[in-house]
Amino acid sequence: MDYRKLGPSGTIVAPYCLGTMTFGAEADEATSHKILDDYFKWGGNFVDTADVYSAGVSEEIIGRWLKARPTEARQAVIATKGRFPMGNGPNDIGLSRRHLNVALDDSLRRLGVEHIDLYQMHAWDALTPIEETLRFLDDAVSSGKIGYYGFSNYVGWHIAKAVEIAKARGYTRPVTLQPQYSLLVRDIELEIVPACQDAGMGLLPWSPLGGGWLTGKYRRDQMPTGATRLGENPKRGMESYDQRNAQERTWDIIGAVEEIAKSKGCSMAQVALAWTAARPAVTSVILGARTTEQLADNLGAAKISLSDEEMQRLTEISAPHPFDYPYGVGGTNQRHRKLEGGR
């Protein structure tokens, strides 16, 4: 197993993290517990959830699993998130000290633990001073309620500002960022990835399969059918589906992934996941599974080693569309990509 450090910390995690947004929604408790069992039997130890996943039910399902399996619980690195509303009051949302204090205690209760390894801010809060949020997180580390903290869905300047304020005030610094990242969604490489690299933070990519597109389940100009999210609920996300379907880049990427998968005798999902896991600054790739079969296939990516030529082909064909200055020709990022060999 290619275990990795959790960002700059000394905690060790598996290269593939078990995401649990499906728990309590698309996977019932029995299925969720079987997914957790299979993940830990594989050698995994990193579980990601959030208070808003199924309105707290995901955390509760994990909590009951941890209580029933003390051996696995000792090895588990648990990550959760706070920020979005869990109530109807004006203070039941955001990154204020008041809301986070309640949100963190509620997550600890639902998970049935006294300590959360990684507590993540689920999104930026423009109303709360970042100093207030960072002071709360520093206090939470000092009190032992959390081991580390990180961010999710932050942009480059959010990261840079938070890191510099934490450094200037002597607060504990963030260790990770959880962004959307895949062969289909690479715009974070423009400023977000460099900001994380400058701060020494690790990336925890979510949606590494592009909402299922990189598994080969969708075909050009064919309406989704069958056991897919769009097939089961055609009205859900059709605008996004139509936009992606209309882009030639989408099908170029899918075609390359399919060819490499056939040549290696593996699934398309495994190729796409292996590419993401091999990208700079990536600590652990978050896998979201509705079934044990999906999980088993995704975890097979750990056995896939892409050659330099295969990595280069996928990286070049999935490169974000050209940008104007300062990101395009003559811009700083363009020059850096050339220096890094086209990455």
Active site residues: 53
Cβ neighbour number for residue 55 with a 10 Å cutoff: 13
- Residue 152 burial (CB < 10 Å; 0-12/13-18/19+)? buried
CA dist 325 and 322 (Å) reads 10
Element counts in the chain: helices (H) and strands (E) = 14, 10
Residue 80: closest CA among 180, 12, 148: 148
Tokens 């060819």 found at:
259
67's enclosing H/E stretch is helix 57-68
CA dist 160 and 309 (Å) reads 34
Tokens 């075609």 found at:
255
- Residue 50 burial (CB < 10 Å; 0-12/13-18/19+)? buried
CA dist 325 and 307 (Å) reads 33
Note the Cα 51 to chain centre separation in Å. 15
As given in the structure block, the two tokens for residue 118 are 């990684």
